[in-house]
A and B are shown apart, each in its own frame.
Chain A
């Protein structure tokens, strides 16, 4: 009976249903990812003249990028910062996520919300907040000076300050990625490891880390990629010696109006990010991550 009624109403064929459901996602990817990327790619081979894009094809932008030492300096600095920030975030996030998953109990949801709390305000506001702690008139240095101590200079408008800012912005992503992974982790396996002779650290590296490696890699990507492209943090916290690749990139689309060069920088940034993601993903062996390929 039920099936007769359904067919009488003229239900969609399975193919039509599939297409209808796939459409919104596909539309989103094409409109907001592929098209802008393609246009950036095209622009990168054009040139700009007095704020206008001129469609004349050449490799000039790339030649400029790779032969001007300052651009390479910016890129290397950003790379170095991103690597350092990722490592700091990794070491900082693991205990946080571990604590939440293991001891969160019924407060887990609340703790996850606490991790997400910074996102209730805008990025600029949060960075300004960091400035209020680390800057020359910030909490730390004012406090030190009140006790007659010299201020900590590396906290004020230095690449280190910028890196701390980036780490602060993106650690929640890493914590969340590792935490979600740990939610599916069977902590009893640690007891097994201990009974079989593994001390706590050994058990962590033998069991916990490999079984949560995918989550950790996702966290690393979520921190590394935005850290590499960062412009705002460097601008607000970094001072004159911290100009990042992303910061210079954003200049091309603003003050200097050299869109074509900016586009080329965007392409380089994209390629470097993709390469690093590729390297990270190569470290994942699905079997070695306990991935069973079935619902588990």
Chain B
């Protein structure tokens, strides 16, 4: 019995000069929800298509339940797939769409009926069996696509930005639902998205991709709190990026000259005094203080500025502070700071270890 449902072994795929998948290895276990997160053009969809068998990798292997399927056509892989634009068969009813994979497998009629009932119940599509796709709402269409992807008990389900075409409300709802199905079925889901909130809401593990490479593959909390590359630090969550040269290095702490402001940072790997570094701090890890507030030892970095604007976002707000060196920092905090108004002098404070410091690329 194989330990992993899906194993990618050094998969590489080039399109002309572009390397869409660059020596990618990944293992996904039973019951796991793994998100492939990256900006468009990062190669995440290509990787998904390689897993599905819609693209042949230039090198490397794809294993499903221990079996090498690299050269198997899509129809022999027993994977399900859900697409961004739903891609239901417009000339088939809901029931015909959903049961399609079982019909192609030549499953007996009894089993088809039984599984259809199961899938329609799971995805709350009862009563819509005889509708055609264009008679359904976007959410219903997406649930039909999910039902079609799941009915044949695939070894794993591939999802290519399945919620991108839904409006915000529905997307939130579906995020929770999709996760619920996954937990219920324990089928591993590979979920491609460029939307970090989706990835963070639903997945167990996130593989952050950029330029055909994995930047970081880790449990989602770790990706969020401990990004291991400048790309991940900048891409996941909302961060303030501070670039400058190291002026001093003392054990685990270093000092950074950031446009004339001296701040403390955790010592970056592979960088010495005088080297350029990028320092990322998530907006919600910074706080605003009034200049009269007493210093707090744990918030070792404290820089003065002026509150430029407050962007109300519901439960919290983004406070834009312009520092004396002319740079703006964004601080996300609760909307409970009535004492501070626009153009008031403020201090932005944070703990050095709240952020990550990386040697600047190049």
Give me the interface of A with B, judged by CB distance under 8 Å: 186, 188-189, 191-199, 202, 206-207, 210-211, 287-290, 292, 294
Contact = CB atoms under 8 A, between A and B. Distances in A.
B105 interface: yes
A197 to B, nearest CB: 3
B265 interface: no
A191 B54 contact: yes
Interface in B255-289: none
A189, A194, A197, A202: which has the most chain B beta carbons within 10 Å? A197
A211 B100 contact: no
Nearest to B158: A195
A186 B152 CA distance: 24
Given A186-B87, A189-B87, A211-B90, A195 B132 contact: no
A195 B83 CA distance: 11
Nearest to B93: A287
Interface stretch (B31-39, B60-68, B72-80): B72-80
A195 B91 contact: no
Contact of A202 (B52, B89, B104): B104
Interface size bracket, B side: 20 to 34
Contacts of B91: 210-211, 287-290
A204 to B, nearest CB: 13
Contact of B52 (A195, A207, A289): A195
7 closest A-B pairs by beta carbon, nearest first, are A197-B104, A290-B90, A196-B101, A290-B91, A194-B74, A292-B134, A195-B74
B104 to A, nearest CB: 3
Contacts of A290: 89-91
Nearest to B86: A192
Contacts of B52: 195
Given A191-B74, A192-B83, A287-B132, A198 B90 contact: no
21 contacts: A186-B87, A189-B87, A189-B89, A191-B74, A192-B81, A192-B87, A193-B89, A194-B53, A195-B52, A195-B81, A196-B75, A197-B100, A197-B152, A199-B73, A199-B75, A207-B89, A210-B91, A287-B91, A287-B132, A288-B91, A290-B89
A188 B152 contact: no
B46 to A, nearest CB: 14
B148 interface: yes
A203 to B, nearest CB: 9
Interface string B89-106: 111000000001100110
